[in-house]
């Protein structure tokens, strides 16, 4: 009997993940069952469960796709010499995020995942781990900005990183729910906030 190649396994896994993505976007997280995903993928029950024993495993795989791309963008920005100004770095990040905002984008599922994470401890732990990793990466950008003089040297880098990271879900949530603002308008607002002069 021929052995199943790694390439075949990867292709089958992608087939299942894409089927799940279509189901979740069409019917929502709660209304989609594993049977729906199996039917959408056109595979046997055993074939799907071999790769993904639960719906949470499928959600994790979909999240990893989007997070993996964002992580690569952040790693490149953190390693860039000389470092970009913060608003330019944020523009690079939002440019990637924009690729995930379409009707079939992973970020439309992200909002559903946030809600489900409130009741599913395993999913909550997964989401928390990924978001803490993002905050850590933003911390590196903040420290670069402090070293260059763009941010005050005495600012708390972790607190500043958490606030800076908050600009990302703040933007894509508004875009998904209201269709606005566009990236340029949002970044103009961020630039105004970052360069605001505090009252004496």
The 3-state secondary structure of 16-59, one letter per residue: HHHHHHHHHHHHCCCCCCHHHHHHHHCCCHHHHHHHCCCHHHHH
Question: Residue 154 carries which DSSP code?
Answer: T
In the numeric block, which tokens belong to residue 76? 């490149």
| pLDDT tens for each residue of the chain, 200 residues long | 446 688 989 999 999 999 999 998 899 888 999 999 999 999 999 999 999 999 888 888 887 776 777 888 888 888 888 889 999 999 999 999 999 888 877 788 888 888 888 888 888 888 898 889 899 999 999 999 999 999 999 999 999 999 999 999 999 999 999 999 999 999 999 999 988 665 55
In the numeric block, which tokens belong to residue 101? 């905002």
Instruction: State the chain's maximal CA–CA distance in angstroms.
Output: 78
Phi-psi region of 149 (alpha: psi -120 to 50; beta: other; left: phi over 0): left
């Amino acid at each position: 009997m021929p052995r199943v190649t790694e390439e075949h396994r990867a292709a089958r896994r992608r087939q299942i993940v894409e089927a799940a993505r279509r189901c979740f976007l069409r019917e929502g997280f709660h209304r989609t069952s594993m049977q729906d995903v199996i039917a959408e993928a056109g595979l046997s029950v055993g074939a799907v469960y071999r790769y993904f024993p639960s719906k949470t495993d499928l959600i994790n795989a979909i999240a990893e796709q989007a997070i993996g791309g964002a992580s690569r963008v952040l790693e490149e920005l953190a390693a860039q010499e000389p470092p970009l100004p913060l608003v330019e770095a944020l523009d690079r990040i939002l440019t990637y995020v924009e690729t995930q905002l379409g009707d079939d984008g992973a970020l439309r599922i992200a909002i559903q995942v946030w809600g489900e994470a409130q009741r599913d401890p395993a999913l909550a732990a997964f989401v928390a781990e990924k978001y803490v990793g993002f905050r850590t990466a933003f911390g590196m950008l903040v420290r670069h900005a402090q070293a260059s003089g763009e941010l005050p040297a005495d600012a708390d880098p972790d607190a500043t990183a958490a606030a800076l990271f908050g600009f990302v879900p703040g933007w894509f949530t508004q875009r998904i729910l209201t269709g606005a603002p566009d990236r340029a308008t949002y970044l103009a607002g961020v630039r105004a906030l970052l360069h605001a002069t505090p009252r004496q």
